[in-house]
Each structure stands twice: as C-alpha cells, then as structure tokens.
A and B are shown apart, each in its own frame.
Chain A
Amino acid sequence: MSSQALLDVERLSVAYPGRDRPFRTVDDVSFRVAPGEALGIVGESGCGKSQTMLAVLRLLPSPVADISGAIRFGGDDLAGIPAKRMRAVRGSGIGLVSQDALSALNPAMTIGAQMAEPLVRYDGMRRRAALERCAELLDLVGLPGARQRLGSYPHELSGGMRQRVLIAMAISRNPKVLIADEPTTALDVTIQAQVLGLIDRLRRELGMALILISHDLGVVAGITDRIAVMYAGRIVETASTTDLFDRPRHPYTRALLASMPRMDEELRERLRPIPGLPPDLEQPPPGCAYHPRCLLARAGCEQSMPQLVRIGAGGAPDHRVRCPVVLEETP
C-alpha cells in the first residue's frame, strides 16, 4: 500500500526437490504489512499459507527448502542475512503463535522456564526480573492465577490456557509483527472467540502488526484490515476485508464463501461444497491451478497462469485478483 511497509515480502517462492522435478509450495507470493495493520491469509490445507510464514521466519528445513524472493523487514532482507542476525529478528522483531498449543510448548519444561529463557539469555534480564515480566505477561493475556502458573507444566493447563501462554510467549520480546498461524483451530468454540478477542486487543494495545493465518473466513472477518486468499501456493485475490466480503471477485473466493454453512443466513436445503480436490502440488494442472474446479473456467484457462491484476481505478482500495475471466465482468 504505502512505502512505509513494516514487512514487505516480494515474489517469495519456496521449492522442494520432488520425485521427478522440484515443486513449489509457495509460488510468487508478495504482500506488505504496515505498522499496526492486521492482514489475514486464508486458504485450505496445503495452500502454502503456513509455508509462507515459516519462510519469512526462515524456519523451514534449510538445505531442503529452496527459498527465493525478498523479505524486507527493518532495513534488512531476511532472506540474505546471516543466521545470527536472523535469530535476533525472531521473537523480538517477528513473533509466532502456532496452532496446537499442546505440541507447541515443551512438555518437560515449566511455563516459567520456557517463557523466561530468551529474556534471560538474550535480553540481559536477571532471572527474577524475567519471571516477574512473564507473570505480568500471563496476566496481560488473562491467565487466572498468572504467578502460580509459572511453575506449572503444559499438561496441567487446559487448551485455552495453553493458547494464552503461547500468545504471551510470542509477545514477550515485544515483536513489531505477530504471526498467528491458525491460533484457534484446536480450541472449543467458546474459547476460540475469547482467544480471537485477546489477539485483537493485544494488537491494538501494543501497536503490533498482525498476520492471521486461517482456513476459516469467519475467523479472519472480524479482526483483520486486509485479506489475501491463497490457492495452490499462490495468492489468488487480495483486498480490504470489507471489500473482499462485499465484492469477492475470484471464483475460488466466491466458492469458498458459498461453501460455508452460515449461522447468519437462512438455512439452505443442501450445502454447496467446491467440487473436486485441491491439486497435487507435485503435479499441478497446467495454467490456472483452480481451473479444474472452477465454474467459470473457459478455453484458455489451462493455457497459462494468469497474473495478479489490480482492479478498479487508482483511488479505490487496492483489490487484486488472479483471474482474467472475472476481470471482463462489468462491475
């Protein structure tokens, strides 16, 4: 959007050696996040949304995954800086909250020990002061009895509490960007609503930018400013959150919205799932990866991968779509 992007990812690709030839799990992905902005990345399993974020943090298995493109953050290109500088970015520049809090916490360490570890090792805090700060953070994320919890092991907490601990850990070194990868998928509905509310509040209070990854459009709708929809490793549509829900353009976005059973709509006789299956990334279909499932597919869709093209005039909010068919529609 503007030149003062905090995180600017340009033409990011992640390739793995395949059975016959290399294949890409992330393909030519570009996005920007401004300070304090909340970006949602939406797509089905295997669409590359988590891979994109792990590539940004350089947490993919390094010699196997071949990463290309630029990841600009704080004046550096993260793709090229030495490992030591990258470590300094992790946690204190960009924080990560992952999906399943039970497996994301070390089962053999107390909450306090794992929370305080980088604060003592890298931020020069004394152990006592670090634990004090951890107790404050646990209180900030609404964990009841925060101080006593420092001595607990992960298995002693409920799923919702563990997710709060994981969020507290991710913000413990004051990151400027918080990446939340499916942070509520493993939780009960009532807990999910609370955790989403918590992430939203922390972003505002701490002035962080947020990248929220989810397969559920309902989850990202309420707390993001912009949304990028991914399919088979590529962004197929990106728009402001309101614009995307009001005027979805890409056939995949539309089909995804139509497939959701919704609480706020009249009941339908039957659900409208998307026919077929997402493509095998090792053998993607020629041309547009979505064309075999697309209701608007026409001759030519299997010829070449369309570009992500901006629609509307310069004054309108930035709305891009990767589909020449819908571009010909009259708005």
Chain B
Amino acid sequence: MLTFTVRRALQMIPVAFGVTLATFLLGQIIPGDQAAALLGPSSSEQERQALREEMGLNEPVLTQYVTYLGNLFTGDLGRSLSFGRPVMSVLAERIANTVLLSGTAIVVAALLGVAIGTWAAMKPGSVRDRGLTVGVLFFNSIPSFWFGLVLIMTFSLGLRLLPATGMTSIGGGGVVDVVAHMVLPVITLAAWSLAVIARMTRSAVLEVIGNDYVRTARSRGVGEMRVVVRHVLPNALPSVVTVIGLQAGFLLSGAVLTETVFSWPGIGLALYQAISTRDIPLIQGGILLIAIGFVLINFLVDTLQAYFNPKIKLA
C-alpha cells in the first residue's frame, strides 16, 4: 500500500508541471495586450513598451516560462489587476469559501447518491427504480445556473425562506447565517452530481449483486440488508468512488457559475470577475488552483481505490 501511494504521489509531479505549462501558455494565447490592459486605453505606446520590458514580456517564451515557474515556487502568482493585490492573497482568502461550498456539495451528492442508487438497485424494475431513472434524466438535462435561478425565484423571492445572495464574509453572522446562505448553492451544485452518482451506484450495485459471493452470503442465511451493506457496497464502491472523484473535480469548476449566480465569495466568483476584466494573472492563478485541486482529488481517489482492493492493499 505504501509503495503504491508513493508511486502514485510521484506520478503527480509531471502532471503538475503539465498543468503549469498549460496555464502559462493560456496567458500567452489569450488575445490582447497585457500591458495595454494594465495601463488602460489612454496610455502611450512608450509607457506600454516600458511596462512590457519591466514585466519580461519581451523575453523569449522559454525564459518567460522559467521565470513564471520560479515565481510559482516562491508563491508569487503575479498581481491581480482588478483587485490591485497579489493574486496569491486574493485566492488565499477565497479558497476556504470555495472548498466549503464544493466540499459540502460533494459530500451531500455522494451520501445521497449512493443511498438512492443502492435503494433503487435492490429492486430493479420497481417503481422506485424507474423513478430514479426519470430523476437522473431530469437533473442531468437542466443547466445548473438555470436550476440555481429557479431555486432563487422559488425560495428567496417567492417563499422568502432562504437568502439568495449577500454572503460577503464567512463567519460574520454565525453558523446559522452561513448554513442558510449555503442551502441553495449546495442544492444547485449537488443536484447534477447526485444524479450521476446515483445512476453509477445503481449499475455498480446491480453488477455486484449478481456475483457468486453474494449468493454464498445469502445461502448462509445472511439477511438482505446486511448482504447489501457488508458484501455488495464494499465491492461496488471502487467504481462509485471514481465517479465521485470526477464529480468533485467538476464541482470545483462548476463553482464558477454557481458562485456567480449566488454571489458566493469564492474562487469561482473571482474568476468570473477576472474574465470580465481580462485580469490574466488572476485567471491563470485561479485555473492553476482548480487544476491542482483536480490532480489532488484524483490522487485521493486512486489511493482510496487501492485501499478497497486487498490485492493492492497487501502489496
């Protein structure tokens, strides 16, 4: 298990380099002049040229990348132009908010998705099973920002039960305030993933439930609930965990839309603002962070996977 984890961890290094290269190149190919964007339309060509020189934009691309990497290692992601502060500090104060929102959403989606999927698979072809199929189709066909808007119209504007926006700083109004602000964005974020996870769990459980060892357990008098919890789920989870991992990654990027709809002060909202103001360093930093999140989640998934598989666990 240790060997596997170490090997898998080492494999992250080239991937991480790839990610930095991709975000760097992103800065290169985004059309427009960074210097012009920074200095504004009234700046003179001389001023722009000076700034380009100062920022190293006239250097060869390779040199620029090495400088970029070097800065990365010292925690310098450049300066955000719309916030007027270092990108690092903008992201640092927001990362916890995004993790809180996406993390809660994935936990909700995973727990409910596995439970619903299993429940449906225990009676294939039944009313609840068909209900699941319809629900999955519904939630996977509606766009999440639209779903978020519908929730806001119903629960905030219509019923006036929950706040739609207004979350500015986490913890200011106490736990109840945070939870109240989280309900709608979490539902919005989780719905799509929940449907995918439930569908995956259903098919994984159905596949495992047909195995001989499930029959062995039943033939020895083990009750149906225990058969499912002890014999079916542990063997179905590896494929479900893969999907949960993928969904966790999507949730990170999906947060851009949801945070915008609900004005949630996370990385997604910052990215949205950065995109609308052509704040390239912040875009790069935000994407880099989300991509690294993806890589870490994948690492976690593979390690969990190995933990569920005694053949790897014992090696």
Contacts and interface: CB of A to CB of B under 8 A. Distances in A.
B226 A121 contact: yes
Given A100-B212, A107-B310, A108-B235, A121 B217 contact: no
A106 B213 contact: yes
B4 to A, nearest CB: 16
Interface residues of A, number: 34
Interface residues of B, number: 24
A106 B221 CA distance: 15
Given A98-B215, A153-B310, A155-B310, A169 B234 contact: no
B217 A117 contact: yes
Interface in A102-143: 103-109, 114, 117-118, 121-122
Interface string A169-183: 110110000000000
A12 B278 CA distance: 77
A172 B215 CA distance: 16
Contacts of A88: 221
Contacts of A57: 219
Nearest to B125: A63
Contact of A106 (B231, B311, B314): B231
B220 A105 contact: no
Contacts of A103: 211-213
B220 A91 contact: yes
Given A121-B226, A155-B310, A155-B311, A104 B215 contact: yes
Interface string B84-126: 0000000000000000000000000000000000000000010
A182 to B, nearest CB: 12
Contact of B220 (A109, A153, A155, A172): A172
A87 B219 contact: no
Nearest to A100: B212
Interface string B214-241: 0111111111101000110011000000
21 contacts: A57-B219, A59-B218, A87-B222, A90-B218, A91-B221, A95-B219, A96-B215, A98-B216, A98-B219, A100-B212, A103-B211, A105-B216, A106-B235, A107-B235, A108-B309, A109-B231, A117-B226, A117-B230, A118-B221, A118-B222, A169-B216
Interface of B: 125, 211-213, 215-224, 226, 230-231, 234-235, 308-311, 314
Interface of A: 57, 59, 63, 83, 87-92, 95-96, 98, 100, 103-109, 114, 117-118, 121-122, 153, 155-156, 166, 169-170, 172-173
